[in-house]
Chain A
Amino acid sequence: MKKTLGIFLLLAAIFLITGIIEPRFLRVGNLTNMARWTGLYGILAIGAGFVIITSGIDLSIGSLIGLTGSLFPLFLVGVGLPIGVGFAFVILLALTIGFTHGLLITKLKLQPFIVTLCGLFIYRGVARYITGEINQGFGTDFQGLRLLVKYRVFDVIPMPFVIVLLLGGIAALFLNKTIYGRYLLALGRNEKAARFSGINTDRMVICAYMICSVLAGFGGMLFALDQNSVQPSTFGNFYELYAIAGAVLGGCSLRGGEGTIGGIICGAAMVEVIKNAVFFLNVATESEFTVIGCVILIGVTVDEFIKRFAAKRRARQHATGA
Chain B
Amino acid sequence: MQNADANPFLEATGIHKHFPGVHALNNVNAVFHAGEVVAVIGENGAGKSTLMKVIAGVHPPDAGSITIEGESVTIPTVAKATELGIAFIHQELNLSDNLSVGANIFLGREPRKFGGIGIIDQKAIRRDTRAILDQLEMDCNPETTVRELSIGHQQMVEIAKALSQNARMIIMDEPTSSLTQHETDRLFNLIRSLKSRGVCIVYISHRLMEVGQISDRVIVLRDGENSGELERREIDHERMVSLMVGRSLTQFYQHKEHQVGAPVLEVSDVVVPGLSEQPISFTLHAGEVVGMAGLVGAGRTELAQAIFGVDGEISGTIKVNGETVDISNPRDAINAGIALVPEDRRDYGLITEFAVRDNISLSALDRYQTGKFVRQKEVADLATEAVDEFNVKATSIENEVGLLSGGNQQKVVLAKWISLKPKVLLLDEPTRGIDVGSKSEIYQLIEQLAGQGVAILAISSDLEEILRISDRVLVMHDGAMAGELGRDMLSEEAVMGLATGSGNQPINQANE
Interface residues of chain A, those whose CB is within 8 Å of chain B, are 173, 177-180, 182-183, 185-186, 189-190, 192-200, 257, 313-314, 316-322
Contacts and interface: CB of A to CB of B under 8 A. Distances in A.
B310 A186 contact: no
Contacts of B354: 185-186, 189
Interface in B377-421: 402-406, 416
Contacts of A198: 329-331, 333-334, 363
Contact of B358 (A173, A177, A182, A314): A182
Contacts of A196: 308, 310, 330, 340, 342, 348-349
Most buried by A among B330, B349, B351, B372: B351
A31 B22 CA distance: 52
Contacts of A173: 373
Nearest to B224: A320
A190 B352 contact: yes
A179 to B, nearest CB: 4
B366 A179 contact: yes
Nearest to B340: A196
Given A178-B372, A317-B403, A320-B24, 9 more contacts: A182-B362, A186-B354, A186-B358, A192-B348, A195-B330, A257-B351, A314-B403, A319-B53, A322-B44
B50 A177 contact: no
B19 interface: yes
B497 interface: no
Contacts of A192: 347-348
A252 B368 CA distance: 27
A307 B366 CA distance: 32
Interface in B4-25: 19-22, 24
B50 A319 contact: yes
A186 B53 CA distance: 33
B121 interface: no
B353 interface: yes
Contacts of B369: 178-179
B374 interface: yes
B49 interface: yes
B350 interface: yes
A321 B342 contact: no
A322 B347 contact: no
Contacts of B376: 177
Contact of B50 (A195, A313, A322): A322
Contacts of B20: 313, 316-317
Nearest to A190: B351
Interface string B333-371: 110000010100001111111100010001101100100
Nearest to B372: A178
Contact of A193 (B49, B350, B372, B406): B350
Contacts of B207: none
- Judged by DSSP, the binding face of B is mixed
A322 B362 contact: no
Interface residues of B, number: 44
11 contacts: A179-B373, A182-B365, A189-B353, A190-B347, A193-B349, A195-B330, A196-B340, A197-B363, A198-B329, A314-B402, A317-B21
Contacts of A178: 369, 372-374
A10 B19 CA distance: 33
B319 interface: no
A180 to B, nearest CB: 6
Interface in B309-338: 310, 329-331, 333-334
A185 B340 CA distance: 22
A189 B50 CA distance: 29
Closest 3 CB pairs of A and B: A320-B22, A320-B19, A179-B365
A190 B348 CA distance: 8
Contact of A194 (B49, B342, B362): B362
Interface string B492-509: 000000000000000000
B374 A177 contact: yes
A182 B24 CA distance: 36
A321 B24 CA distance: 8
A47 to B, nearest CB: 20
Contacts of A322: 44-45, 49-50, 405-406
A320 B416 CA distance: 26
B59 interface: yes
Nearest to A188: B351
Contacts of A194: 351, 362
Interface string B55-93: 000010000000000000000000000000000000000
Interface in B110-133: none
A145 to B, nearest CB: 32
Contacts of A186: 351, 354, 358, 362
Nearest to B368: A179
A284 to B, nearest CB: 41
B19 A316 contact: yes
B269 to A, nearest CB: 25
A321 B347 contact: no
B44 A193 contact: no
Contact of A321 (B53, B310, B405): B405
Contacts of A180: 372
Interface in B292-312: 308, 310
Nearest to A181: B374
A198 B363 CA distance: 6
A44 B350 CA distance: 32
A197 to B, nearest CB: 4
Contacts of B44: 321-322
B380 to A, nearest CB: 13
Contacts of B374: 177-179, 182
A178 to B, nearest CB: 5
Contact of B49 (A195, A200, A314, A319): A319
Contacts of B353: 189, 257
Contacts of B403: 314, 317-318, 321
